[in-house]
Each structure stands twice: as C-alpha cells, then as structure tokens.
Structure 1
Amino acid sequence: MKTSIGITNENLAKVAEVLIKTLADEFVLYTKTRKAHWNVEGADFYNKHLFFEAQYQQLDGIIDDLAERIRTLGHYAPATLREYLELTHLSESPLPSNDSLTYMKELLSDHDSIIMHLRENIEIFAVEFKDAGTSDYITGLLETHEKMAWMLRSHLK
C-alpha cells in the first residue's frame, strides 16, 4: 500500500535516499566499533573493551531505528554489506596499531563526519522536503552522535 502521510512521493524518495546513505554510514561505523571492541590491546584493554561494547550496542539500536524510519516512509532499507560499502561516505582502512587511542581517533573522525552530514540535512528535510518528522528524528540522532563523540574525545585529552 502506498504511503500517504502528507509528503509528496518525490520528497519521500529524496528523504529516503539520504536516510539510506546514513544507514550505510551507521552500519560501517558499527562494524568499525565492533572491530575496536574485539581487537583493542594494551594496559587499558578491559576498560576500553567494555567502552567499545557500549558504543556498538548503541549503534545497533540506531541502525534498527533508522531502517524502520526508512520503511515508515515507504521505502526499503539496504541490508547487504555490498550495498553499505557502495553507499557509505566513510572509509575502511587498516590502522597502524590496535591500541585504544588509534581506534578512538578513527571512530571519532567517523562520528564527526556523520554529525556534519546530519546537520546539513535537518533544515532541508523540514523546509525543502516538508518532512518535519524526519528532521526531528535526525536532530535526535545528531545529538546521540554528539554525545558518543564527546565520550571518545574525552578519552583523547
């Protein structure tokens, strides 16, 4: 059944396109955070192992909510690694070491990138695409990423 929520089909498609790319970014960030959780080494191993676990669990919830938002708008969420890697603007690259600071710098950079991407779209969703609901949703998502980035940044001081 067609989604009829007071937003044109064209605008729904444009919003979904941005959200789909955001979903890819979130999944790649989730995977990189899992990698940090599994592979971190050093004197602070246990503490950082638990820290990364809390972060990837939070990202898991974000991924599910975001996919459901896409479905709410009448579009399908991508769900393959190939799709995510084609859609994301984040990069995967080998890190020089498995210490917590290296992982934290990498993850912080990705959070900051997602924050900037979300911030760029808040007003576009509300004004141009007439989708206040998604604008509000990504504002909350932005705040979540800002807090997660703050947690990472605080470890790097």
Structure 2
Amino acid sequence: MDINIGISQNDRVAIAEGLSHLLADTYTLYLKTHNFHWNVTGPMFNTLHLMFEAQYNELALAVDLIAERIRALGMPAPGTYSAYARLSSIKEEEDVPKAEMMIQQLVEGQEAVVRTARHLFPLVDKVGDEPTADLLTQRMQVHEKTAWMLRSLLAS
C-alpha cells in the first residue's frame, strides 16, 4: 500500500537510513550500558550499578520508539546484531574496564548518539518531517543530559 504522508519515497528512505544508524547506536549503547551495570566494581559500585540500570532501561524504551518511527516511514527496522555492528558508530567493549573507564566510554557513547541524531536533522528539516525532528530533539536532550551527568562523576 502506498504511503502518502507528504514526504517522498526517496526522502523517507533516506530518513529511515539515518534512523537506522541512530537505532544501531542506541542499541549498542544499551548493550554496553547493561554490560557495565552487570560488571562494575569498586567504591562507586552501588551508585554506578543503579545509574547504569536507569540508563539502560531508558535506552531500551528508546530503541522501540526509533524502530517504530522507521516503520511509520514504511521501511523495515534493522534488528540483528550484524546489522547493528555494521551501522553503529559505537565500539563494543570486549573487556571489563575499571569503573572510571566505563564512565568515560559511556560519555563517549552518549555523545556519539547525539552526533548521529544531529547529522540527520538537515534532511528532516528540509522535508518537514516534524515527528522525526521531535524524536531527534528528545533523544538529543536525553543523551546530552546523561553525558553531562556521567562527566560530572569524572570531575576532580
């Protein structure tokens, strides 16, 4: 069935591709955050364990919103580890780093998601895709705030 929402097929494809990168970054950050939640140790254990849990729970909800926007644009949402590995700008962590390195990596991951969202904005603005712009704005606000909170833990 044709989709007639005022955005051309080519633009919907391009937006969905950008959102697929955002989805991959978000899912990869979710997985990394969950991993760190399980494996954090040290004097900040309780604080970080709880903080990471709140963060991965928020990310779990976000992946659904992003995937649903891709589907609303009429495209399939990527949903495999191989697709996420190909699409994500966030590197997986194979080891169990010290708590401070975990925090640093999560700051970098949060900032990477912001950059991915920001990169998509010009196209979304050009074609008047307000629902995607709203989603991107909300995601950027969450990730910028989370990065700030994580950076605050590293301040001396």
Structure 1 position 99, deviation (Å):
2.7
| Deviating more after overlay: 86-95 vs 76-85 | 86-95
Tell me what 2:91 maps to: 91
Q: Which residue of 2 aligns with 1:31?
A: 31
TM-score w.r.t. the length of structure 1 is: 0.92
Deviations 1:84-119 (A, max 9, x none): 111111112445x54321101001011111112212
Could you tell me the percent identity over the aligned residues? 37
- TM-score w.r.t. the length of structure 2 is 0.93
- The answer on 1:141 being equivalent to 2:136 is no
Rounded to whole Å, the distance in 2 between the matches of 1:39 and 1:33 is 10
CA contact (8 A) 1:122 1:139 kept: no
Instruction: Provide the residue aligned with 2:106 in structure 1.
Output: 107
1:36-66 Cα offsets, whole Å, 9 max, x none, are 1000011221221111000000100110111
Answer yes or no: is the 8 Å Cα contact 1:38–1:49 preserved in 2: yes
Question: C-alpha distance in 2, partners of 1:9/1:88?
Answer: 24
| Corresponding pairs, count | 155
1:5 alignment counterpart: 5
- CA distance in structure 2 between the partners assigned to 1:78 and 1:121 by the alignment: 17
In 2: Cα distance, 1:11 partner to 1:98 partner: 41
**Displaced runs of 4+ in structure 1, greater than 4 A?**
none
**Quick one: distance in 1 between partners of 2:43 and 2:84?**
34
Instruction: State how far apart, in whole Å, the 2-side matches of 1:119 and 1:16 are.
Output: 14
**Structure 1 stretches lacking a partner, 5+ long:** none
Q: Name the counterpart of 1:49.
A: 49
What's the RMSD between the two structures over aligned residues?
1.4
1:41–1:98 CA contact under 8 A, matched in 2: no
Q: Structure 1 counterpart of 2:27, which letter?
A: F
| Partner-residue secondary structure (3-state), 2:57 | helix
Any unmatched runs of 5+ in structure 2?
Answer: none
